[in-house]
Amino acid sequence: MIETLIKIFLFGAVVGGIWGLVASGFSLIFGVSRILNFAHGAAFVSSAFLAYALVNEGYSLYFAVSAGLMLAAVIGVVVYALTKPVRDREVMVIIVTLAFALLVQQVLLVLFGDRGVSIEPFVEGVAEIGGVKVTHMRLLSLALAVICLTALEVFITKTNLGKKVMATAQDSRAAMMVGIDIEKIFLFVMVLSSLLAGFAGILYAQIFAVNPEVSLRALIYAFAIVILGGLGSLRGSIAASFIVGYILVITITFLGARWSEFVMLLTIVAILVVKPTGLFGVEE
């Protein structure tokens, strides 16, 4: 029983950390520019596939990862350019970003097929904690996710640029009136969120297998987590991601993998019935 609890604690934290990176970026975009980026999953899978392809071509892992992150950043710039003309029309933003996401998915399907691929891990080996064997890569991914999420929190709350981001999120018109270039903030946030998703995708591919269809799963998970945490609440999204991670691992442990997403979504719906604004959201 103790081993089961340790397994749930460790594996749930790993899953929660990875999805926390994805959801925090998704939440950041919505909080600042008030758009739902349905192409968010494209950065998640594209960075992983580029890193995988470069490693297979003989390039070093760290060069491949850097290239994958650069691709994620480029995707952020492209999404910014595509959504800028239609930012005030929510339906058009959804259509444009979803169309771009489907285009990226089709390109990946043509290039790599629908098979799952994995990236060489940063570290090899297995550790034993309380009788539970955990790969070093899982532990490293958790540490890296926590470091990134902590750094994001510090950046948003402590730095001058982060305060400009928060000011734009609170009232973009007022921010513009006091001299903040909100378009540069929108672009910066879009690139940052894509980098977070891209890095999450690379970590995910080093632990699990990734295929082009995972982009849709990443989007669904990010959307569900952000809704659960409260739209626009960065801390809420991070907390909700770990809640979702534990729900998934607990369900897989006791009921099997096929029930995990069903139980996760059912739990989120039940919570939203009781608190429609999400766990950390507030009434508009």
Residues in Cβ contact with 95 at an 8 Å cutoff, skipping those fewer than 6 apart = none
The arithmetic mean of pLDDT across residues 144-159, rounded, is: 92
Of the ranges 69-78, 221-230, 246-255, 257-266, which is most confident? 69-78
Is 229:240 a contact under the CB 8 Å cutoff? yes
Is 31:88 a contact under the CB 8 Å cutoff? no
Is 197:21 a contact under the CB 8 Å cutoff? yes
Is 179:162 a contact under the CB 8 Å cutoff? no
Question: Tokens 């991914």 label which residue?
Answer: 141
Distance CA 73, CA 77 (A): 6
User: Which pLDDT tens digit goes with each residue over 174-205?
Assistant: 888 888 888 999 999 999 999 999 999 999 99
pTM score of the predicted model: 0.92
User: Which pLDDT tens digit goes with each residue over 210-244?
Assistant: 999 898 888 888 888 888 888 777 888 888 999 99
Residue among 104, 73, 70, 98 at smallest CA distance from 83: 98
What 3-state DSSP class applies to 178? coil
Residue among 81, 83, 55 at smallest CA distance from 68: 55
Is 245:138 a contact under the CB 8 Å cutoff? no
The arithmetic mean of pLDDT across residues 80-102, rounded, is: 90
The arithmetic mean of pLDDT across residues 131-136, rounded, is: 89
Indicate whether 281 pLDDT > 70: no
- Going along the chain from its start, the domains and CATH numbers come out as 2-274 (1.10.3470)
User: Which pLDDT tens digit goes with each residue over 33-87?
Assistant: 888 889 999 999 999 999 999 999 999 999 999 999 999 999 999 999 999 998 8
